[in-house]
Amino acid sequence: MAKVVVVTDSTAYIPENFLKELDIQVIPLHVVWGDKVYKDNVDLKSDDFYPMLKTAKELPTTSQPSPQEFMDLYKAILDKGSKVVSIHISSGISGTINSANQAKEMLNSKDIAIVDSKSSGMALGFIAMVIARMAKKNASFEECVTVAEKAAQNVGVYFMVNTLEYLHKGGRIGGASALLGSALDLKPILYFDEEGKIGSYDKVRTKKKAIRRIIDISEEKIGTQKPIHFCILQVEAEEDAQFVKSELENHYQNGEIEEIMIAGLSPVIGTHTGPGVIAISYLVGF
């Protein structure tokens, strides 16, 4: 039986040790800053990016990998006799899935499956990890695709941004809203909706209340579903992330949480959120 190789993208934030252990291939998205194009978290690392972002007069933009980049990666895998399950950032906020589909069409291969996670971050990352673990146990290509598509329906991401400044600079909200939000210290709570688009779930005054709110929302949405894979995503908010992790661990009984971790946000997503963001991402039932 042909080996199944999982491909994902740089917005998944899967820790390096898991990438190596599970042989997950990562294709980077791009950060475009002035006349320079960086490969996300390859040419431009988070430690360098966020200090630059705070002082930038002009914000960077982001773009998906090209079909050619996908073709090169897919072909290298197919040439070894393996099959590809390619799981990516939501088509609701990125053209990455579109590039992947174009590459599949150009290669004219039935041994490539493209799965839209309808999310990003470790909600996406956990799907990739589950399928890669299946592949290591010699699950078939068809089994991997079926589970990946089902898992994509069992994820959630709820997050708060520390400031409306980057949403405003990126053209997501008007200047009056940004000014009012800053004056009232409003913290918007955002999420990925059923279509994989980012929507506004709530607005809470003060950061402390917003962090408590995303914990409560996540616990409410998960309900009795288990096991749970949790990741708290953060940018320059390590202490807050540790608090969220502790609260989640205290809420659930032993065995209900399959794994829980803290990870950072790479430049591509950080361009739109800015520093200080806290997110809870999860996958349930797998």
**Fold of the domain spanning 155-284:** Hypothetical Protein Tm841; Chain: A;domain 3 (3.30.1180)
Residue ranges of domains in the chain: 4-29+64-151, 155-284
The answer to whether the CB of 200 falls within 8 A of the CB of 190 is yes
pTM: 0.91
Q: What is the pLDDT of residue 190?
A: 86
Across the chain, which has 286 residues, the per-10-residue mean pLDDT values are: 92 93 96 91 87 85 94 97 97 94 97 96 96 96 98 94 66 45 68 86 88 96 95 93 96 93 89 87 95
Q: What are phi and psi of 82, to 5 degrees?
A: -95, 165
Q: What is the pLDDT of residue 151?
A: 97
CATH code assigned to 4-29+64-151: 3.40.50.10170
